[in-house]
Chains A and B, each alone.
Chain A
Amino acid sequence: MSLLPFFEWCEATWIGEAIRGSLWLFPVIEAVHLLGLCVLGGAVLIIDLRLLGLGLRNHPVAQLTRDIRPWLIGSLVVMLSTGTALFLSESIKCYYNTSFWVKITTLPIALLFTFAIRNRIASREGLATTATSKLVGAISLTMWFVVAAAGRWIGFS
């Protein structure tokens, strides 16, 4: 079964219509998406760098992960809601866009990895940098990099 009808339905939603019908709505939502990226990037990096044994090495990973959690979740909420709005405004373009498919498949994997694996392992880690923590930090960084890079590339194709 083709997903195209679903994408056509998305594009026809009133949100999609409203964004397409406005000169400034898309740029504004996209700008907020970009601001969300800054905060998300900071929240992800500060923990991943720490897992790799860089940055705030003199603080336990568990404490940092707990402290930064509201910012991680808050920025994700901004990213996901603005991202959905942007998608609704150009769903059919996305359907034919390889970068979109790369992003939309790696995003749930990155989310799942971050909350189900990374944060769980991080909450058990203390001051020492272990081989496990390094591996987890490297995987997380790589995944989020692919999500972000593919996201930017949607606009080029």
Chain B
Amino acid sequence: MSLLTFLEWLASTHYSVALHESLFIYPLVESTHVLALTLFVGLAVILDLRLLGIALRGVPVSDLTRRVLPWTKVGFAVMMITGLLLFYAIPVRNYQNIFFRIKIVMLVLAGLNVWIFHNRTERSVAEWDTDPRPPRGARAAAIISLGLWAAIVVSGRMIAYNWFDCDIQPQSDVINWAAGCTVPPK
């Protein structure tokens, strides 16, 4: 069974249809997803700005990772749960949406960036914890993180626009390929 067939089945399930067609639940889930950005991306931005040495320079980096990161994780959990629900409500359209695909790729890259920072750069945090301007590795991780999250937020917002949807043809071959559209040969 292909992924597309599975998603078509998923779209036909009772709760997917219910969520998709609901008058209030879908907007509520969507709003929660957007407002949780403040908790998740907002606090992640503060940490990144600290790593760049341009905000909260008097606060040791480890204070932020110990006391603020737990809140960021709560925000991330809310983002994931509501995000999965939003996907579940409209699975096929999301899967074949070019902005959704860009978003997923960048989410993976952002996760990789966090993993590398945590397992390499952050290991030596004791040496630069109170430095107003952390070392190059930490600053690089912060810049990459800020760039990726900004792009993720923007592409996430753009999913709502149907400019490149499969049912809007003709599109360029590149778009159709990237969005995974199945179009009859010309």
Contact = CB atoms under 8 A, between A and B. Distances in A.
A152 B31 CA distance: 6
Interface stretch (B7-15, B33-41, B81-89, B172-180): B33-41
B37 A67 contact: no
Interface stretch (A14-22, A28-36, A102-110, A112-120): A28-36
B63 A46 contact: no
A67 B38 contact: no
Contacts, number: 101
B153 interface: yes
Interface string A22-50: 01000100110011011111111110010
A27 B158 contact: yes
Nearest to A157: B27
A93 interface: no
Majority SS at the chain B contact face:
helix
Interface size class of chain B, counting residues whose CB lies under 8 Å from the partner chain: 20 to 34
A153 interface: yes
A153 B23 CA distance: 13
B35 A67 contact: no
Contact of A27 (B45, B56, B68, B161): B161
Interface of A: 23, 27, 30-31, 34-35, 37-46, 49, 54-59, 63-64, 67-68, 71, 145, 148-149, 152-153, 156
Given A34-B154, A39-B42, A152-B34, 4 more contacts: A44-B42, A46-B68, A64-B56, A71-B55
16 contacts: A27-B158, A34-B154, A37-B34, A37-B37, A39-B45, A42-B44, A43-B42, A45-B39, A45-B43, A58-B67, A59-B58, A59-B59, A59-B63, A67-B55, A67-B58, A153-B27
